[in-house]
Amino acid sequence: MSKPLTTPGAQPQSAIGDTGLRCLNCEYNLTGLTEDRCPECNTPFVPELMDRVLGGAPFPVPAWDDPAEDSILIRFVRTCWMVWFRPVQFATVMPWSFHGRSVVAYWLLVRVAAILVLIPGWVIEGTQRMVVMVLVLFVFSIICESLLAVLLATMLPYRIAPPWSAYRFARSWWVFVAYFSSFLIPAAGAWPLSVLAMKIQGTFNPPVHMGSAITYYCLVVLLWWGGCLAQAVSIRAVSGWRLTLVRCLIPLVGFGSGLLAVMICAHVCRWLGW
């Protein structure tokens, strides 16, 4: 909550009007300050840059939109590395508004990479099973990202509060979650790894095959992905019981989305006669 300005050298807010400028660290009202430093938390700021941030201007995503690196593959690997192993750092430098084409390019590249991971399973078990696995991944990611965007937008207030509509808040959260969809790449490895294990053993046991794939999926999605996303969300949201509840719900949403995706794809396969 904004506090009244009583800092020496600051003009009264009533004389100049509230400009809406807030500290990005502690949300202190910076209206009327004569020094570009927050008197509450001592964080320096650039007024023109903060006006753009609070106004919703799009900013590049670090690592992915790095202008110094021409190779899209290197930028993609760096971004995935940050998301997988440095989620707090990634969330700290992640902007609130994004360039649409850049986000779509990353989203699509993640899906291409996930399909490439599935290729060993396709070589062993054939095209039909490959199509089913691709369908499961795509349906799962769409359901999971959409549910999380709605959950985060309705439950968590931003640390910064620009005058955005509910739709814009949800879209911003959806893009944020979409960058964590890079976990589809290691998650896609569940099927080919279990198939390769069965191939090496020389036997095919459907219950064991399914059990190993589900165990791998739970370890990757529920533990690794859920933990990283929960840490990242904590950086961008206000602390409190809502944040604690959302952190607990994130792995449940991931697990539930996976089950729903499998059920949907099973009905589609039956309809196709597979």
Tell me, yes or no, whether 66 lies in a domain: no
* Backbone φ, ψ for residue 62 (5° rounding): -55, 145
Query: What DSSP state is assigned to residue 234?
Result: H
Is there a single domain that holds both residue 124 and residue 36?
no
Is there a single domain that holds both residue 106 and residue 214?
yes
* Range from 42-46, 69-73, 140-144, 266-270 carrying the lowest mean pLDDT: 42-46
Q: What mean pLDDT is predicted for residues 228-244?
A: 88
| Percent of the chain residues topping a pLDDT of 90 | 23
* Range from 63-67, 169-173, 205-209 carrying the lowest mean pLDDT: 205-209
Cβ atoms 229, 91 nearer than 8 A: no
Q: What mean pLDDT is predicted for residues 138-150?
A: 90
Is there a single domain that holds both residue 115 and residue 178?
yes
| pLDDT at residue 191, as a whole number | 75
Would you place residue 11 in the very low, low, confident or very high pLDDT band (cuts 50, 70, 90)? very low
Q: Which structure tokens are listed for 241?
A: 């019981």
Would you place residue 8 in the very low, low, confident or very high pLDDT band (cuts 50, 70, 90)? very low
| pLDDT at residue 122, as a whole number | 78
Is there a single domain that holds both residue 12 and residue 138?
no
Tell me, yes or no, whether 189 lies in a domain: yes
| pLDDT at residue 249, as a whole number | 93
Cβ atoms 37, 5 nearer than 8 A: no
| pLDDT at residue 92, as a whole number | 83
| pLDDT at residue 86, as a whole number | 93
Is there a single domain that holds both residue 7 and residue 90?
no
**Identity of the highest mean pLDDT range in 114-123, 142-151, 200-209:** 142-151
Q: What mean pLDDT is predicted for residues 180-196?
A: 83
pTM: 0.77
CB neighbours of residue 18 within 10 Å: 13
Split into its structural domains, the chain has a count of 2
| pLDDT at residue 10, as a whole number | 43
Is there a single domain that holds both residue 48 and residue 139?
no
* Backbone φ, ψ for residue 21 (5° rounding): -75, 125
| pLDDT at residue 54, as a whole number | 66
Is there a single domain that holds both residue 210 and residue 148?
yes
CA atoms within 13 A on the CB side of 59: 17
Reply yes or no on whether the pLDDT at 262 is more than 90.
Answer: no
CB neighbours of residue 239 within 10 Å: 9
Higher pLDDT, 8 or 274: 274
Q: What mean pLDDT is predicted for residues 105-123?
A: 89
CB neighbours of residue 112 within 10 Å: 10
Cβ atoms 170, 153 nearer than 8 A: yes
Tell me, yes or no, whether 61 lies in a domain: no
| pLDDT at residue 6, as a whole number | 41
| Percent of the chain residues topping a pLDDT of 70 | 79
Would you place residue 228 in the very low, low, confident or very high pLDDT band (cuts 50, 70, 90)? very high
Is there a single domain that holds both residue 116 and residue 37?
no
| pLDDT at residue 1, as a whole number | 42
Is there a single domain that holds both residue 44 and residue 146?
no
Tell me, yes or no, whether 220 lies in a domain: yes
Domain range spanning residue 47?
A: 1-54
| pLDDT at residue 160, as a whole number | 55
Q: Which residues pair with 44 in a beta bridge?
A: 37
Q: Length of the chain in residues, anyone?
A: 274
Is there a single domain that holds both residue 104 and residue 48?
no
Reply yes or no on whether the pLDDT at 109 is more than 80.
Answer: yes
Q: Rounded distance, CA 8 to CA 18, Å?
A: 17
Is there a single domain that holds both residue 25 and residue 124?
no
Tell me, yes or no, whether 98 lies in a domain: yes
Tell me, yes or no, whether 120 lies in a domain: yes
Cβ atoms 55, 96 nearer than 8 A: no
Q: What mean pLDDT is predicted for residues 101-125?
A: 88
